[in-house]
Structure 1
Amino acid sequence: MKKYEMGSTMQSLRHRRRYEIKAMIWLHDGPAGWHFVTLPQNEAREIRAHTAGLATRWGSIRVVATIGDVRWQTSLFPDRKRKSYLLPLKRAVLKAEGIKAGDRIMLTLDV
């Protein structure tokens, strides 16, 4: 897994907020078997307020996520049912950190 490298794509990083989040990994029961983390509602509410007007028209928000030694650019996706956001986890992240569905993890989001 390539670690995140600061560069021109994230020039406004100094205006970002950092969130330290503890959450459980879960496996979507669809055919692709994606793994996700659902953000706690308090953090989701803060992120929604901080990014007002910045989300795409589908509601996704660009972030830099860190779990352990792995840092990558990704997006949070709205979960209207839970009034939160979902963070998709790539297989490469799971493998690099030795984590799986059901594990409670600490992650950092730069939003």
Structure 2
Amino acid sequence: MTGDALEVTGEVWYWRGPAPYHFVTVPMPQAEEIREIAAEVTYGWGMIPVSGRLGATEFTTSLWPKDGGYVVPLKDAVRRAEQIDLDDTVTVHLTIAPRDR
């Protein structure tokens, strides 16, 4: 799956913990596909490096493990560029980056 495109559609939600962030949850069927290769691509703590595109905005980030699945953090700069707000439904195009060996 590394190098393959993955399309994630979901609602933007906010976590205001010690490091506040906006996220989109990866649907479980796609999370299961990611989990199959996680050991090959994680750089620790279950984080999966990805490059992404939301609308016309390209970015890099890492999928975060959460509740047996994964979430996509949406940086403020990406949300501002695409005029994305809390509770909006968005489609994020992701490519899982292979881990450097």
Q: Normalised by the shorter chain, which TM-score bucket?
A: 0.7 to 0.9
Root-mean-square deviation (CA), in Å? Answer: 1.5
Over 3 Å counting, the alpha-carbon distance change for 1:59 and 1:31 in structure 2 is: closer
Is the counterpart of residue 93 in structure 1 residue 97 in structure 2? no
Q: Give the structure-1-normalised TM-score.
A: 0.78
Provide, for residues 50-91 of structure 1, a one-character-per-residue CA deviation record: whole Å limited to 9, x for no partner.
Answer: 343321221101100110001111111111x2x111111111
Q: State the identity as a percent.
A: 37
The alignment of Structure 1 onto Structure 2 pairs a total of residues equal to: 95
Amino acid at match of 2:81: A
Aligned to 1:78: 65
Cα separation, 2, equivalents of 1:59 and 1:85: 9
Structure 2 match to 1:29: 16
TM-score of the two chains, using structure 2 as the length reference: 0.85
Larger relative strand fraction: 2
- Structure 1 regions of 5+ residues with no counterpart? 1-14
Distance 1:17 1:50, change over 3 A: farther
Does 2:31 align with 1:68? Answer: no
